[in-house]
Structure 1
């Protein structure tokens, strides 16, 4: 009983902690980042519960913004998608993006690591009513990702104080959705 109480208190305390400081890339090349990405792992996201094959398509725009479409398969097999535009919050931090979804809501998206050709680590954190809400995505240009890269991304998050026990694998057995 005491161990359960301590575990619950620890989870509440970690959820109420400040967001980890995980800096985004200082140099970010939007045209190189553009293209299709497969989601390999993620933190839970309400809009993706029960979905598989989450994928993103980014298109660089002439003004430096990125047009995006995220697609996935719902548990009933139907396609789910959302579209929007990502813009740099501050030109001094080009990989710290604000997402403006066509449906009328906003989010943030920080590219922490990418080699542009194979993988990317994306992270977002918000303090909402005293609770820390984190999102992380491991993205790959292919439906699979080298385990060493996944381990590196997990370590980056964990070293910053993010709760990596929440990571889950996203099945990618649908082929390309674009």
Structure 2
């Protein structure tokens, strides 16, 4: 009896290992692109879609992000959106490059005097940017946050689907993406 239990347990363990190996082979951990030209990336971006997140819970339309390079090479971030009463709300932050290629950033939306506090900056990795800097896929080392951004308020379906496919390849649950109107 003990031998059958051990054999059954071993078979189950091998099956689980096999399933985990298959799942890991199908998706890769998110990877930032090698290099981003921050000057080209700067400017206004329209959010096409995002994974649900607490900070965007009130947004119902017109989500945008405006990036500009500061004198110290940090990046000013101004996010805005329209909420249910028609008001436009915004949040200003700063992004700090975490690698030589400027493709891995940490962003803080805390007031200036509190940005030194550890663990208060979020990951902002550029996972894919088209060569003309017109469309971008942004996430981080986990699959918790994801944004598809465009220089135009609308994105054609083929391009959108291509960026969705990249997100899927990185293991993001794209079935949860939220698309809001512009």
Fold agreement, TM-score > 0.5: yes
The corresponding residue for 1:107 is 122
Contact kept, 8 Å, 2:49 with 2:178, in 1: the verdict is: yes
The corresponding residue for 1:156 is 166
Q: Is the counterpart of residue 36 in structure 1 residue 44 in structure 2? A: yes
Q: State how far apart, in whole Å, the 1-side matches of 2:69 and 2:156 are.
A: 26
Give ranges in structure 1 of 5+ residues lacking alignment: 1-17, 127-132, 173-178
Task: Output the TM-score relative to the length of structure 1.
Answer: 0.76
1:142 to 124, 140, 152: 152
Which structure has greater strand proportion?
1
The corresponding residue for 1:62 is 71
Q: State how far apart, in whole Å, the 1-side matches of 2:94 and 2:28 are.
A: 25
The corresponding residue for 1:49 is 57
Instruction: Note the aligned Cα RMSD (angstroms).
Output: 2.1
Give ranges in structure 2 of 5+ residues lacking alignment: 1-23, 115-119
Cα deviation digits, residues 89-139 of structure 1 (max 9, x gap): 132x4211000223344211001111344211111254xxxxxx6111111
Larger Rg belongs to: 2
**What is the CA distance between 1:55 and its match in structure 2?**
0.3
2:102 to 81, 94, 100: 94
Task: Output the TM-score relative to the length of structure 2.
Answer: 0.74
**What is the CA distance between 1:64 and its match in structure 2?**
2.3
Q: Is the counterpart of residue 74 in structure 1 residue 83 in structure 2? A: yes
The corresponding residue for 2:5 is none
